[in-house]
Structure 1
Amino acid sequence: MSKNEKEEHLAIGVDLGGTNIRVALMNKMGQILQEGSRLTEAYKSRDYIIQNMIKMINTVKGDYQIKGIGVGSPGPINQAEGRILDPPNLKSLHQCPIVEMLQSEFRDIPIYLENDANVAALAEARVGAGAGKKSVIYITVSTGIGAGIVIDGKLFVGAQGNAGEIGNMIISEKGPQVANLNTGALEALASGTAIERVGRERLGIDGGAKEVFALAMAGDSVALKIVEEVKTYLSIGIANLMHLLNPSIFVIGGGVMQSGEWLLPQLREKTSHLLFPSMRSHLMIEPPMLDHKVGVIGAGLLVFT
């Protein structure tokens, strides 16, 4: 590591998840130099979790001078206050002033907080599948559905930081009404939770998207119909975003897409048919490149925005 890199161009990324905390020392190119992970133990107290995080940061930091610490957390968050609000899988950290708590330990180091979908989008846009592209929309299809928008290398978060909440985008007025989502919202129709619900209702199974996809690949007609519906709903959502923002590329990740990565070519074709003919040749839908490190890399890159 060069002297300049040691003094000026290092950051620490923290990926705070419901299951694991990942921490990495990295440079502005997203290259990880030191890293560590441990269980979040989300059932334990706020102080226990934050102190664990501080220990991990100090371990990877060593005696290096760093430019800042970026934290990616499940939303919702209040970025202006540096506070985690009420993510379902981190109940111990509800209303947690995480930036203030970290700042009390790392007094002279700037702390940055962003939601996990946005940091994943930043990572894929800067050093992943969207590298070199002018505009990138990263969509995660997992337990829920969300998106991050990166334009000219910078996150677009909207007036109150809520840009990208596409899970609540209305896709079908005849769709289900689930939790606090709109009736017929994309997340209620095509997320992992939605696929699990429909699989239970129509197939009597509890294996979630993975089992539905396996049955579809084996030729089960009911499972095939469920998968076809999911592709339709996702393609409508992507087409809406294409007409609205016309990004250079869509990067689609998340647990559902990992289980059904074979869906991607069909999703491209289905989406293409919903676009103006002149836009079809410009549609790019690709899988992510950074896998499970996307969160920690994106968190570190917050420091260099």
Structure 2
Amino acid sequence: MIAGAFDIGGTSIKYGVLNEQGDILYQSKISTKADQGGQVVIEQVIELVKALQKEYELDGIAISTAGQINKEEGSVIHATDSLPGYTGLNIKEELEIAFYLPVLVDNDVNCAAVGEYWRGAAKNVDHFLCMTLGTGIGGAIIMNGQVYHGHAYSAGEFGHMTLYPGGEPCLCGDEGCYEQYASSRALEQRAVKELKQDISLPELFIKAHNKEAAPEAVIERWVLDVALGIKSLVHIFNPPLIVIGGGISEQGDDLLDKLKGSVDARIMTSFKRNLEVKFAQNGNDANLQGAVYQLKSLVWEQNN
């Protein structure tokens, strides 16, 4: 099987061609043009598929996308303002009509989790949680090697656990949500506020690595907030593994060790047995791979 795979975010559409082993045969990206509306986003995907078909004989189309997704319908239940006009679109239907090919659509974090399960940090682990720390915090729940989508296909919104009641206002309409304190955006905002200077996350981590006290303190406080959320997830789900993705996962073992230590200090002893916390291995490739893995399952079901 050869699949066209797309990862649709608010800033860019990453796309490529993958074989059924998950090897990436071709990869590129373009601007999402999200400000022009959701329909323009889908039209861009259609044009990209047409371009790929000139070079490859595609057997299906796999879509990883931001937003809450009804996987069975391939429709967008809800999307934030980063993708205006996206809510309500039926991506699967539009692409199937355009190309008469099988189409799989799922949420991007679900796809990332499946990609890590297939070829990454969670390989051969049938039960685990995946969370991405980025502009917000996304989550995915893997049970018996399958994504748990929830009653209305919206499970895994880890970013909207309440961490501090009455705290910072959140885009969801509540206050004190996890993502307002533990996302990478929250870390950057905290650093700017407390250090009283514009500073990027790479610069912050370099300063902390060089043992500058104030940057170290900012990161330590953020690590605590990340760990507090993980504590709740561990005590609810009792997973053997938590995989953490997003750009923050590129910071390496020093940060991971801090996070593991903070989590370990806060969970009950009985939950510590066999619990692993890992950074994701495959970056954005996992989104494409996870979408293709699920497309393979869909095609198999249709043919059997």
**Structure 1 residues 79-107: Cα deviation after superposition (integer angstroms, max 9, x where no partner):** 45533343332225454332222122122
Task: Using the TM superposition, give the Cα deviation of residue 135 of structure 1 relative to its aligned residue in structure 2, in angstroms.
Answer: 1.2
User: What is the RMSD computed on CA atoms of the aligned residues?
Assistant: 2.5
Per mean C-alpha deviation after superposition, the further-off stretch among 95-104 and 132-141 is 95-104
| Contact 1:232–1:270 under 8 Å retained in 2 | yes
Task: Using the TM superposition, give the Cα deviation of residue 59 of structure 1 relative to its aligned residue in structure 2, in angstroms.
Answer: 3.7
Partner of 1:102: 95
From 16, 22, 43, the equivalent of 2:14 is 22
Specify whether residues 97 and 134 from structure 1 end up closer, same or farther in structure 2 by C-alpha distance, changes over 3 A only. closer
Which runs of 5 or more residues in structure 2 are unaligned?
298-304
The answer to whether residue 231 in structure 2 is matched with residue 239 in structure 1 is yes
| Contact 2:39–2:86 under 8 Å retained in 1 | no
From 293, 296, 303, the equivalent of 1:304 is 296
SS of the residue 2:99 aligns to: coil
Specify whether residues 193 and 275 from structure 1 end up closer, same or farther in structure 2 by C-alpha distance, changes over 3 A only. same
Specify whether residues 86 and 275 from structure 1 end up closer, same or farther in structure 2 by C-alpha distance, changes over 3 A only. closer
Specify whether residues 129 and 245 from structure 1 end up closer, same or farther in structure 2 by C-alpha distance, changes over 3 A only. same
Per mean C-alpha deviation after superposition, the further-off stretch among 152-161 and 180-189 is 180-189
**Structure 1 residues 10-60: Cα deviation after superposition (integer angstroms, max 9, x where no partner):** 433211123332333323332223444333333445554433322322343
TM-score between both structures, scaled by the size of structure 2: 0.86
Q: Number of residues paired by the alignment?
A: 295
From 107, 120, 124, the equivalent of 1:115 is 107
From 133, 148, 171, the equivalent of 2:125 is 133
Which runs of 5 or more residues in structure 1 are unaligned?
1-8
After the TM superposition, which residues 145-224 of structure 1 pair with which residues of structure 2 at under 5 Å, given as runs? 145-173=137-165, 175-180=167-172, 182-224=174-216
Specify whether residues 177 and 18 from structure 1 end up closer, same or farther in structure 2 by C-alpha distance, changes over 3 A only. closer
TM-score between both structures, scaled by the size of structure 1: 0.86
SS of the residue 1:162 aligns to: coil
Code of the aligned partner of 1:298? G
**2: distance between equivalents of 1:245 and 1:55?**
42
**Structure 1 residues 147-199: Cα deviation after superposition (integer angstroms, max 9, x where no partner):** 11112221111111121101011223364233325433211111122223322
Per mean C-alpha deviation after superposition, the further-off stretch among 284-293 and 115-124 is 284-293
From 220, 225, 228, the equivalent of 2:220 is 228
**2: distance between equivalents of 1:46 and 1:156?**
26
SS of the residue 1:104 aligns to: helix
